[in-house]
Copies of this chain bind each other. A is one copy, B any other.
């Protein structure tokens, strides 16, 4: 299945197809110098089989985890391209999850002010969410994604087959982003999550999620308006994520938790049903002060308050600007009502 993201001269195709990453040579122009970026948590074979079909591959493996989204690693990738004589006509291929895509996409955006960038996401989270839309970034001073660029890839290869090697928990966490989009924008997809056999429907679930993301990005490339709907669950989610790395929760799990205080009771009940099918946790031992403080430190916060996405009926959403007090009240009410 081929989806075309229509952004004028920055348009590109997203191929969603089992086995497409093994046929990268058919889909991507690799007859040039190619910087392949992967991490040591990704099975080596995925990057190696891309390298095998490049004319001049240069493979860089960064350590797994957020720590690699740094200006140091950014500089390292640029230095590799420079050392291998990359010109404006050469390219970068990301083979990995969101960390690899964000880091290498930013390096591609900056090398000679922009070389071609291809993304081959290998996690459910990056296949559904981060590989589409052109947001690239690294972290600085403990703040996530605070340095980066809007830079669209030339093509994205989404291959559900590579998810076979993904740990179950990471798989479910990634699907939380699909559930998020379905809850706010696509009631039909949400129903699929409630009824279909998830693992045998994976290709369709992913393709439909990517199609939603595509439509949102087309309508609002630079996150000036509609695109913020994708932040559903992210205000509190980021708060949880930032508050305590030690809980060991990953991004998608935090987003799943973050949606629960931002919806109606009916929606919450349906979300909980889906979480249970996916094996996503629904409880969290809130330290309200710290979560709120961390949520307000998030870069989307605005003049002391924050604009959040509220879902009161599946498939619909609205934006609401909340002062810090209102945000606190909403979270506290949710905790009390649900006896968390």
> Could you tell me which A residues sit within 8 Å of B by CB distance?
71, 74-75, 78-79, 82-83, 87-89, 109-114, 135, 137, 140-141, 143, 145-150, 222, 299, 301-302
Q: A78-B140, A114-B150 are in contact. List 17 more A-B contacts (CB 8 A).
A: A71-B71, A71-B74, A71-B75, A75-B140, A79-B140, A79-B141, A82-B140, A82-B141, A82-B146, A87-B299, A87-B301, A109-B149, A111-B147, A112-B146, A112-B147, A113-B135, A113-B145
| A110:B148 contact, CB within 8 angstroms | yes
| Bound complex: CA A82 to CA B143 (Å) | 9
Chain B residue nearest to A82 in the complex (CB): B141
Residues of B contacting A79 in the complex (Cβ-Cβ under 8 angstroms): 140-141
Q: How far is the CB of A33 from chain B (nearest CB, A)?
A: 12
Question: How many copies are assembled?
Answer: 2
Contact A302 B87 (CB under 8 A): yes
Kindly state the separation between the CA atoms of A148 and B87 in the bound complex, as whole angstroms.
14
B113–A150 touching, CB < 8 Å: yes
**In the docked arrangement, what's the CA distance between A1 and B137, Å?**
39
Distance of A87 Cα from B305 Cα, bound (Å): 13
A114 cross-chain contacts in B, Cβ below 8 A:
149-150, 222
Most buried by B among A79, A141, A147, A149: A147
Contact B149 A113 (CB under 8 A): yes
Q: How far is the CA of A149 from the CA of B114 in the complex (A)?
A: 7
In the complex the two chains form, what is the Cα distance from A88 to B74 in whole Å? Answer: 22
Give A309 Cβ to nearest chain B Cβ, in Å.
18
Please tell me if the beta carbons of A299 and B112 are within 8 angstroms of each other in the complex: yes
With CB as the reference atom, state the residue of chain B lying closest to A111. B147
Residue of B nearest to A8 (CB): B8
Nearest-neighbour CB distance to chain B for A78, whole angstroms, equals 5
Known: A71-B71, A87-B302. A110 touches B149 (CB 8 A): yes
Complex alpha-carbon distance, A302 and B150, angstroms: 27
